[in-house]
Structure 1
Amino acid sequence: MTTIRVLLISLLSLPLTALANPVADIQEWTVPWPDSRPRDPYVAGPDLIWFVGQKADYAATFVPSDAEFKRYDLPEGAGPHNVIVDKRGAWYAGNRDGHVGLINPQNGDIRRFELPGKGRRDVHTQAFTSQGDIWFTVQQGNKVGFLETDSGEFTLYSVETEAARPYGLVVHQDQPWIVYFASNEVATLKDGKLKVFTLPRKNTLPRRLAVTEDGNVWYVDYAEGYLGRLNPDSGEVKEWQAPAKAQARPYAMSSDKKGWLWLVETGVQPNRLVGFNPTTESFTDPVPIPSGGGTVRHMVYDPGSHSLWFGTDANTLGQARLQN
């Protein structure tokens, strides 16, 4: 009875428009390996999603049409954080074991690419270039990395800001963009050097980012609940506070083919998906994640289905079909 009452209060606290006319239709599937923290899905085809289980050392595929899961066991202690896929296989970030791994989907064989050097080598978030090479962040190691995939050669760039924790990363027109989670900075790498943009609020903790077709760089501020836009040409920054304000804790974010931005407020339970229309500079009404989400850490946009894919700490894989 208490559970029903709490749920009813939660629903009544949401705007009526969020319940009656949602901007996204969310469906979730329970991952068959309990308490494994499924995360960082990657759309590898019209009916094929890859993801990793960070707490259970696996990568897996999911076929939405028949809800079929297939697991690939990784080396013990790999702590996979992220996966990206091309015709050669699935490249995962061995976050706890200092390597990038390439899975052969045909037989499950793994080729390891060991990060050079000593100290923390926690590969975090990866993204392909147009040539199939990989940019990635090394969060606790305070570096940005590049893997030339044919030769297996790494190049590591040290971040000048101490303990900046380079975190989210995207590649736009073959240029990497990075947010520093422990510093109010956004960075890019050009001509072999890191270029840093300082954000106006000192307390800003940017966690994820997206780059839209107009070249603007968008980020979410986990500390105080803002969505921000950086114009790299002028350095101008403009910010909007998310619906849950300072409690929002926005984490996962992405942009869609219409130029809208999408973020997940993880500081409220259930987590809520929120869209932002840059033309009207307005947020949509929040849509609750059905499972609650726990924490939605990363999501990717699939233009083919006009939807977002995400994993949750509630051990689900989710798809949000967008209605904008």
Structure 2
Amino acid sequence: MRQKIRAVLIASALLWFVFPVQAQGQRRGPPVQLPEGIGQELVQAHCTSCHRLNQIANSWGYTREGWEELFSSMVALPSDQAELVAGYLATHYPVRPAPEAVKIPGKTNVSIKEWVLPSLGSRPHDPLAAADGSVWWTGQWSSVLGRLDPETGVMKEHPLPPDSGPHGLAEDAMGNVWFTGISQNYIGKLNPATGEVTQYPVSKEGARGPHTPIFDQTGTLWFTLQSGMVGRLVPETGAMTIVSTPSDNTYPYGIVVNSVGVPWYVDFRGNRLGSVDPKTMEIREYALPNPEARPRRIAITPDDVLWYSDYARGYLGRFDPATGDVQEWPSPGGSESQPYGIAAVGSIVWYSESAVRPNTLVRFDTETESFQTWVIPSGGGVVRNMMATSTGDLVLACSGVNRVALVEVSDN
């Protein structure tokens, strides 16, 4: 059953964003006791409104200027309060040793341009390179979908039903933007011209957390779910089918579709990939050689070879479905670099290392097996996903620093 909702309740969406539930910031892990000092109460009051204090205590730390730039992307404070907060954080949480970005030169040039999003603290999760050249993002913490015109810098946000927690994005042939409402367990379709949102509830028993969506060549939408399942939605009828993976305790995460319409996904909770028969929805799993592998995102090159970011081990992996062969390369940033968002342009694989300071953009030439890297100007703040544009450039969602980025690529 479909539920159509006019996404015009701007006041409600803003109230949810400005006054989120206090418990949301402290719901996991032991509570953190902030050190005493001038500015402590301000940090306690403002920072716990949307995240846990252990994200501060366990961070790599920043300079005074770095802290101010970071929290200014989350909340707008009066200048006197901002001074106190920045001073407190820099004093008690200064820069600490951390895995540093490894810079590898090469012949390719990139230009990285970033935009701070209108809703502070939005935490963009996934980007979308739309057919008209615009860049979209999911504002997961503010429950909005945003659109950027990179030519003019003009941005517009479309409010969604409160607490939708939009996660992944996909565009259909008519320009509608589809998303996964991970917090409210639905698949959504936004009509950009009218702002109308159509909801397709995930109603199968035990199914929860619709995650990453992608369209196949016929216009059918496929999506992964956090509950160890993969789903299929036929937009024309609204028919939704969800199946469980053969293995228990799985977490289907990134997903792609190959040249003949077969969806492939990676399991972030195990050392495996899976394929889905597009007609029967039978899932076949393929184990990776290393039991510690935890592939998080997946890309596909024109030869239908699959590439994955092994988040847990710090590797880039290659899986050939035709032969079952697996190859792996250590990521330049090392075993703790946590490769995450990934995309392919022709024979070039791009991804980001999310646990080096600053985050890096990595280029891997699959023909020469060579790496080249760049640092992301804002630091990246964990690039959870990226997507190639029709012209061979890239769009990124820089989650923790509340930005989206356009990477323009040129080869010498």
TM-score normalised by structure 2 residue count: 0.73
Higher helix share goes to which structure? 2
Shift in Å at residue 279 of structure 1?
1.1
Match of 1:72 in 2: 158
- Aligned pairs for 1:127-276 within 5 A: 127-139=214-226, 141-173=227-259, 174-190=261-277, 191-257=280-346, 259-276=347-364
Alpha-carbon distance between aligned partners in 2 of 1:136 and 1:13, rounded to the nearest angstrom: 33
Q: Does 1:319 align with 2:406?
A: yes
Q: Is the 8 A contact 2:127 2:397 kept in 1?
A: yes
Write out per-residue CA displacement over residues 171-190 of structure 1, whole angstroms, 9 at most, x where no aligned residue: 12211010000100011012
Give the conservation status (yes or no) of the 8 Å contact 1:269–1:294: no
Measured at CA, do residues 150 and 242 of structure 1 come closer, stay the same or move farther in structure 2, by a change above 3 Å? same
1:113 aligns to what? 200
Is the CA contact 1:22–1:287 (under 8 Å) kept in the aligned structure 2?
A: no
The answer to which structure has the higher strand fraction is 1
Asked if the contact 1:253/1:261 (under 8 Å) is kept, the reply is: yes
CA distance in 2, matches of 1:3, 1:121: 41
Contact kept? 1:251, 1:298, Cα under 8 Å: yes
The Cα shift of 1:78 comes to 0.7
Structure-1 residue corresponding to 2:122: 36
The amino acid that maps onto 1:135 is W
Seen in structure 2, the aligned counterparts of structure 1 residues 273 and 16 have a Cα distance that, compared at 3 Å, is closer
Q: 1:240 to 1:147 in 2, by over 3 A?
A: same
The aligned counterpart of 1:287 is 374
**CA-CA distance at 1:23 after TM superposition:** 3.6
Distance 1:3 1:16, change over 3 A: farther
Residues 88 and 281 of structure 1, relative CA distance in 2, 3 Å threshold: closer
The equivalent residue for 2:365 is 277
Distance in 2 of aligned mates of 1:301 and 1:249? 21
Q: 1:16 to 1:200 in 2, by over 3 A?
A: closer
Q: Tell me the secondary structure at the aligned position of residue 335 of structure 2.
A: helix
**Is the alpha carbon distance of 1:163 and 1:16 closer, same or farther for their aligned partners in structure 2, counting shifts above 3 Å?**
closer
Instruction: Answer yes or no: is the 8 Å Cα contact 1:29–1:318 preserved in 2.
Output: yes
Q: Percent identity?
A: 33
User: Does structure 1 conserve the Cα–Cα contact (< 8 Å) formed by 2:103 and 2:374?
Assistant: no
Deviations 1:83-103 (A, max 9, x none): 212215111111111111111
Residues in 2 aligned to 1:45 and 1:154: alpha-carbon distance in whole angstroms? 26
* Structure 1 residue ranges without an equivalent (≥5): none
The separation in 1 between residues aligned to 2:296 and 2:104, in whole angstroms, is 30
2:49: which partner in 1?
A: none
Distance 2:304 2:247 in 1: 25
| Distance change in 2, residues 1:201/1:66 (3 Å) | same
Secondary structure at the counterpart of residue 142 of structure 2 = coil
TM-score, normalization by structure 1:
0.92
Cα 1:279–1:2 shift into 2, 3 Å: same
CA distance in structure 2 between the aligned counterparts of 1:323 and 1:265, rounded to whole angstroms: 21
Given that residues 227 and 241 in structure 1 are in contact (C-alpha distance below 8 angstroms), is that contact kept between their aligned partners in structure 2? yes
Q: Which deviates more from structure 2 when the two are superposed, residues 103-112 or residues 259-268?
A: 103-112
Residue 120 of structure 1: CA displacement? 4.3
Q: Distance in 2 between matches of 1:271 and 1:88?
A: 32
Distance between the aligned counterparts of 2:281 and 2:124, measured in 1? 34
Point out the structure with max Rg over C-alpha: 2
User: Could you report, residue by residue, the CA deviation over 1:68-126 in whole angstroms, capped at 9, with x for unpaired residues?
Assistant: 11111101111100121221511111111111111121221111111122334211000
Is the Cα contact below 8 Å between 2:352 and 2:362 reproduced in 1? yes
Runs of 4+ in 1 over 4 A off after TM superposition: 1-4, 12-16
Please state whether the residue corresponding to 2:328 is helix, strand or coil: strand
Residue 167 of structure 2 aligns with an amino acid whose one-letter code is H
Deviations 1:250-287 (A, max 9, x none): 00000013x11011001112100011111111111x21
CA 1:192–1:24 in structure 2 vs 1: closer, same or farther (change >3 Å)? same
Q: CA deviation at 1:22?
A: 6.1
- How far did residue 15 of structure 1 move? 4.2
What are structure 2's unaligned runs of at least 5 residues? 1-61, 66-93
Query: Size of the alignment, in residue pairs?
Result: 316
SS of structure 2 residue aligned to 1:97: coil
The CA distance in 2 between the partners of 1:117 and 1:164, in whole Å, is 17
Contact 2:163 2:184 in 1 (8 A): yes
Contact in 2 for aligned 1:256/1:303 (Cα 8 Å): no
| Number of the residue aligned with 2:149 | 63
Q: Which deviates the most, 86-95 or 25-34?
A: 86-95
